[in-house]
Amino acid sequence: MFQLHSWIGIKLSLLFFIVCFSGTLATLSNEMDWLFHPGLRATGSGDRVPYNTIVQELQQAYPNHTLSYWLMPKEPYLNDILYLEKDGYRTYVFADPFTGKVTGATKVTFQRFFRDFHYYLFMPFYQIGYFMVLVFAFLLAISLGTALLFYKKWWRKFLELKRSSGKLVLFRSLHRLVGLWSIPFVMVFSLTGIWYFTERTNLGKVSDISNPAAPKLDREVALDSADQTPFPYRWDYDMAAKVALHTIPGLEIRGIVPPRQPSSTIYLRGKSQVPLVRNRANRVYVDPLNYEAVGVQKAEDIPTIMYLNDIADPLHFGNWGGLTSKIIWFISGLGISGLVLTGIWIALRRQLKKSATKKNAVMGAWKYINWLLAAPIFAYLFFFMHFRYGLSWEPILLVATILASVGWLAWYVFVTKMRQAR
């Protein structure tokens, strides 16, 4: 059991760390946006202005863009985020829900960047990246199971930390201690990750059940050819919201997807009294021409499989309980990422104690396999930053500098210092 546990944590250490640490940063990515984008910081209070007021302000500021999504974050310290598309690029526009004014914009948010990184590692063929990440859900579960099997009487050692027997003993004890306190979080991350795998592969028709198709309006509509207003700006979103609130009493609208064509609906989603579920558990589809609800999904009525699917994201990223739960999830993610680092450090130190002639015995050929897989991940990261996000060279250079610094630090700790310790 120990050999299997060590093999997973050491042979796949670089990829394991990338997956764990990117997910850790994703938990507080909205707060990073709040910190670096002043326009996202909510300063008002009271009642929201009419939705149409914000749309009018948006149209004046971005008359040639297409509104593809409108997010109303549940965090009270965040403004609305509106996704605009033009020429294949997306712009994230911030709007104050209490004044209706546009307060800022950016080409990419930390939330989107780290979610993309954690979801599919920026691989150009999404399915490859998705499954590379999802495999680690199974490996994380195996690591937990094997650790509990070979670590005798672990339930008695939640407060045990040995400090007086050298660095190797200290780090090994710290590795075990952090691992014990991480058990519930490892279980949550691995189980939700396995659920994502089930959904992605549609095992048991999970994806079909959990992601029903939006209703289509069976009609032909002749639109005014003289009206050059972008399609999503034409509709009465206040009326659509009124219909949604009437259809699901007590609904807190958290997202609106505008129609892209006459046969599409205005799709509104949000929170109700059902705990844990994400916004899309409540759905109202509104006909944009007569403002009648043509499709409704209430969280209290969804089947068990759909409920499990809709609680996976809040549990996986820790946003179910607001900022408090996100901070707890972030700290636990740092702990799990640290387990990968301390695990490889312990293995290297043990190697030094055994023999100075086996310098490649710890990772062997897997060292090169890790780097062969990691290299395209970072290459595609920069590709996405420029060609998908449309970023200029300054943020790309900043990210490159950060990665180079982290790489140098890792080399210093795990290679240079280890050689000096021989």
What's the pLDDT score for residue 165?
76
Tokens, residue 217: 């309006």
**Lookup result for tokens 């979610």:** 115
Hey, which of 9-18, 20-29, 148-157 has the most confident mean pLDDT?
A: 20-29
What's the pLDDT score for residue 347?
87
Residue 228 lies in a domain: no
Mean pLDDT in residue range 339-346? 93
Residue 159 lies in a domain: yes
What distance in Å separates the CA atoms of residue 82 and residue 327, rounded to the nearest whole number? 26
What's the pLDDT score for residue 384?
94
Instruction: Kindly report each contact of residues 229-232 with a partner whose C-beta sits within 8 Å and lies 24 or more positions away, as own/partner.
Output: 229/59, 230/59, 230/63, 230/64, 230/65, 230/66, 230/67, 231/66, 231/258, 231/259, 231/260, 231/261, 232/66, 232/67, 232/68, 232/258, 232/259, 232/260
Residue 378 lies in a domain: yes
Residue 403 lies in a domain: yes
Across the chain, mean pLDDT equals 92
Q: Who has greater pLDDT, 347 or 118?
A: 118
17, 38, 59, 228 from 100: Cα distances, Å: 42, 16, 12, 23
Burial 49-63 (b: 16+ CB within 10 A, else e): bebbbbbebbbeebe
Tokens, residue 293: 């609800």
CA angle, 47 then 53 then 57, to 5°: 125
- 82 strand-pairing partners: 70, 93
Burial 283-307 (b: 16+ CB within 10 A, else e): bbbbbbeeeebbbebebeebeebbb
> Exposed/middle/buried for 401, CB within 10 Å: 0-12, 13-18, 19+?
exposed
Residue 291 lies in a domain: no
Residue 328 lies in a domain: yes
- 296 strand-pairing partners: 284
170, 172, 182 from 161: Cα distances, Å: 7, 9, 15
Q: Is residue 358 predicted with pLDDT exceeding 60?
A: no
Percent of the chain with pLDDT over 90: 79
The per-residue pLDDT for range 120-140, each reduced to its tens digit, is 999 988 889 999 999 999 999
Q: Is residue 262 predicted with pLDDT exceeding 90?
A: no
The per-residue pLDDT for range 314-331, each reduced to its tens digit, is 999 999 999 999 999 999
14, 244, 350 from 337: Cα distances, Å: 10, 42, 20
What's the pLDDT score for residue 221?
64
> Exposed/middle/buried for 249, CB within 10 Å: 0-12, 13-18, 19+?
exposed
Find all residues with CB under 8 Å of 114, minimum gap 6, and list them: 22, 25, 26, 29
Mean pLDDT in residue range 9-25? 94
Residue 397 lies in a domain: yes
Residue type, position 118, single letter: H
Structural domain including 385 reads 2-31+114-202+319-420
What's the pLDDT score for residue 227?
65
Residue 211 lies in a domain: no
Residue 280's pLDDT band, with cuts at 50, 70 and 90, is very high
Mean pLDDT in residue range 130-158? 95
Residue 252's pLDDT band, with cuts at 50, 70 and 90, is very high
The per-residue pLDDT for range 180-236, each reduced to its tens digit, is 999 999 999 999 999 999 999 999 999 999 999 999 888 766 666 556 677 889 999
Q: Are 255 and 269 in contact (CB under 8 A)?
A: yes
Structural domains of the chain, count: 1
Residue 422's pLDDT band, with cuts at 50, 70 and 90, is low
Q: Is residue 357 predicted with pLDDT exceeding 90?
A: no
What's the pLDDT score for residue 366?
83
Tokens, residue 1: 């059991």
Q: Are 122 and 90 in contact (CB under 8 A)?
A: no
What's the pLDDT score for residue 349?
84
Provide the 10 A C-beta neighbour count for residue 266.
24
Q: Are 268 and 283 in contact (CB under 8 A)?
A: yes
If DSSP codes are grouped into helix, strand and coil, which group holds residue 121?
coil
What distance in Å separates the CA atoms of residue 367 and residue 383, rounded to the nearest whole number? 24
